[in-house]
Amino acid sequence: MKPEQDDLFEQEVEALIKEIHTQYGYDFSGYARASVYRRIKRFLGQKHLHSIDDLRKHLFTDSFFFENFLQEITVNVTEMFRDPTFYKSLRENVLPILSTYPFIKVWDAGCSTGEELFSLAILLEEEGLLGRTKIYATDINQKVLRQAKEGIFSATQVAAYTSAYYAAGGKRDFVTYYTSNYGSVKFDSSLVRNVVFYPHNLATDSSFNEFHLIVCRNVLIYFNRALQDRVFNLFDESLVDLGYLALGKKETLVMSGINDRYDFVDKSNRIYRKNS
């Protein structure tokens, strides 16, 4: 694209973001632009659309198409036990402290299709804590929440998940957690017996409970600094004193307004603890 075409594309996307907010109530104004432009160009290519105008026509006449768009724009690529050292650290440094509480509340914010949720549930189960833990699993997207509830994942990933599980300090035989069926695996639904699935939009919704642990990994990378600050404040309000916050490996509180109130539990895995 020539520079003036780029400018036009960007102006059209800005107008589209406003229109989506008005029509559907989803607010993307605080999303990181480099990523939004890339996702939209990619979506146009997939759907063989040639302009933002073509995209508009579909988005505002077909709510099924919009749901599809929402799923593509909000990245839902995820895996079980991503960064095994993170899960190992959570098991060794955080769960022993959480076990001192009679009842544990965890928020998995931006749980997407559930791979992270099931990984957390397996960890809690193996540490004997799942029975007295309530996990709130939230996402902006209702479609992925339905998938998360099912716990059905592609069998092609299982070998990778199995080695990540053991690297994360897994204590059992991984196959005991799922049953295989026609190219997919279904995880034991008792793992999510104490999970509440709940649509929640980090960009616009407020705090709804108090938690001992909030896990929000690789969600905030898609937000700009201002929206990240909003979400960090939301997490701060939602954490008990001495509660834990787990971010993605390359996400940081350092530029946020709440940084002073948090200490590192594990710097390389970005696990923080609220110090007051």
Partner 1 sequence: MHGTSSRLIVIGGSWGGIQASMKILRALPADYPFPVVLVLHRLRNYEGNLQELYEKKLALKAVEIDDKAPLEAGHLYIAPANYHVLLEKDHTFSLDDSELENYSRPSIDVTFTSAADVFGKNTVGILLSGASKDGSSGLKHIFDKRGTAIVQHPGEAEIAIMPLAAINSTPGCRIMNIEGIQAYLLTLHEH
Residues forming contacts to partner 1 in the complex (CB under 8 A) are: 3, 6, 32-35, 37-39, 75, 77, 82-85, 164, 218, 220-222, 224-225, 228, 248-252, 254-255
For the chain, list the strands marked E by DSSP.
Answer: 104-109, 133-139, 152-154, 178-181, 184-187, 195-199, 211-216, 239-247, 262-266, 271-274
Q: 109: which residues sit within 8 A by CB, 6+ positions away?
A: 138, 200, 202, 214, 215, 216, 219, 235
Closer to partner 1 at the Cβ: 15 or 255? 255
User: Tokens 């549930």 — which residue?
Assistant: 121
Closer to partner 1 at the Cβ: 129 or 221? 221
Q: 3: which residues sit within 8 A by CB, 6+ positions away?
A: none
Closer to partner 1 at the Cβ: 114 or 248? 248
The sign of the CA dihedral 44, 45, 50, 51 is: positive
Closer to partner 1 at the Cβ: 45 or 96? 45
Distance in Å, CB of 27 to partner 1, minimum: 18
Distance in Å, CB of 99 to partner 1, minimum: 27
Q: How many Å separate Cα 127 from the centre of its chain?
A: 23
Distance in Å, CB of 190 to partner 1, minimum: 29
Distance in Å, CB of 247 to partner 1, minimum: 9
Distance in Å, CB of 37 to partner 1, minimum: 8
Closer to partner 1 at the Cβ: 99 or 162? 162
